[in-house]
Amino acid sequence: MTYLRTIERYKINTLYLVPPIVISMINNLGAMQRFDLGSVNRVWVGAAPLGLEATNALLASYPEWKITLGYGMTETCVVVTSGTARDIVVGSSGWLLPGFEILLVDGEGNRITKYNEPGEVWVKSPSVVLGYLNNDVANRETFTTLPEGRFIKTGDVGEMRKESSGNEHLWIVDRIKELIKVKGHQVAPAELEACLLGHPAVADCAVIPIPDERSGEVPKAFVVTSGDCSAKDLQEYVQAKKAPHKWIKGGIEFVKAIPKSPSGKILRRILRDRERQRRASKL
């Protein structure tokens, strides 16, 4: 409430948010509508992917807001791509900013030269850090020198799309290490999380892989509810919207909170460790 009251009092026109704050707004639209937020015209979102469902849910109540996403990382020092008010594509991380070059590279190390094909994002810029102090292993794994110069391997999966405006936009899919491999198919946890957040009874959620004898891995969801719903309800909700290999066959566990970093990123590692320990205790 303090945040909304501050926006109203000082007529703030630009908001800088992380996805958990956006989700909180969506789940508390009644409270938001008690405040005059008419001064807001721009909303910037970063730190983690924001799904189309969440973005559209916020736009449904505040259609005049121009919601744009950006992409960057600590090691690039500044933002790599950013949306602009004159070319907003919901869900896109925007255009490549001046001073940056990127490559998209597939799992075999081949460069991707077509639109709409995912690959790891490699970034080149004078702003990229020189390396990690006293950590040669991390430096070898993270940085590579090509004929074009020195690139950082971000560990993020993205794809370039040419939009109707004619501009190229970067779309971030998920972290490579967090992709779930179901019968050879790659499933992005962020995609399933965005889908679940579209359900009116879901306040927050996280998706991780769990082992499966037939599929290798299957998705499992941890869900914080804001209303009445069952695991079956949520599974059927996802099944109606996603391909079979993306169904949450690992089950749904209801929890009180999703572990997150101070910047709002989901700490899936904690959930994976918790799941691993639980399985080990049953052996």
The string of pLDDT tens digits covering residues 185-242 is: 889 998 999 899 989 899 999 999 999 888 999 999 999 998 899 999 999 999 999 9
How confident is the model at residue 164, as a pLDDT? 86
In percent, how much of the chain has pLDDT > 70?
100
Q: Cβ-count burial of 196 within 10 angstroms (0-12 exposed, 13-18 middle, 19+ buried)?
A: buried
Mean pLDDT, range 83-87, rounded to an integer = 82
How confident is the model at residue 87, as a pLDDT? 86
Asked if residue 171 is part of any domain, the answer here is no
Instruction: Tell me which of 46-55, 173-182, 238-247 is least confident.
Output: 46-55
Asked if residue 228 is part of any domain, the answer here is yes
Cα–Cα distance for residue pair 17/183, rounded to 1 Å:
36
> Residue 261: which CATH number?
3.30.300.30
How confident is the model at residue 79, as a pLDDT? 93
83 — pLDDT class (breaks 50, 70, 90): confident
Residue span of the structural domain in which 228 resides? 179-281
Asked if residue 76 is part of any domain, the answer here is no
Asked if residue 185 is part of any domain, the answer here is yes
Cα–Cα distance for residue pair 188/200, rounded to 1 Å:
22
Query: pTM for this one?
Result: 0.77
Contacts of 191 (CB under 8 A, 6+ apart): 51, 173, 174, 242, 246
Mean pLDDT, range 79-91, rounded to an integer = 87
Asked if residue 227 is part of any domain, the answer here is yes
The string of pLDDT tens digits covering residues 155-165 is: 999 999 999 88
In percent, how much of the chain has pLDDT > 90?
68
283 — pLDDT class (breaks 50, 70, 90): low
How confident is the model at residue 189, as a pLDDT? 92
Place of tokens 């926006």: 7
Instruction: Tell me which of 110-124, 244-258, 269-283 is least confident.
Output: 269-283
The string of pLDDT tens digits covering residues 99-155 is: 999 999 998 899 999 999 999 999 999 999 999 999 999 999 999 999 999 999 999
Asked if residue 201 is part of any domain, the answer here is yes
88 — pLDDT class (breaks 50, 70, 90): confident
Indicate whether 25 pLDDT > 80: yes
How confident is the model at residue 86, as a pLDDT? 82
Q: How many domains does the chain have?
A: 1
Contacts of 249 (CB under 8 A, 6+ apart): 212, 215, 218, 219
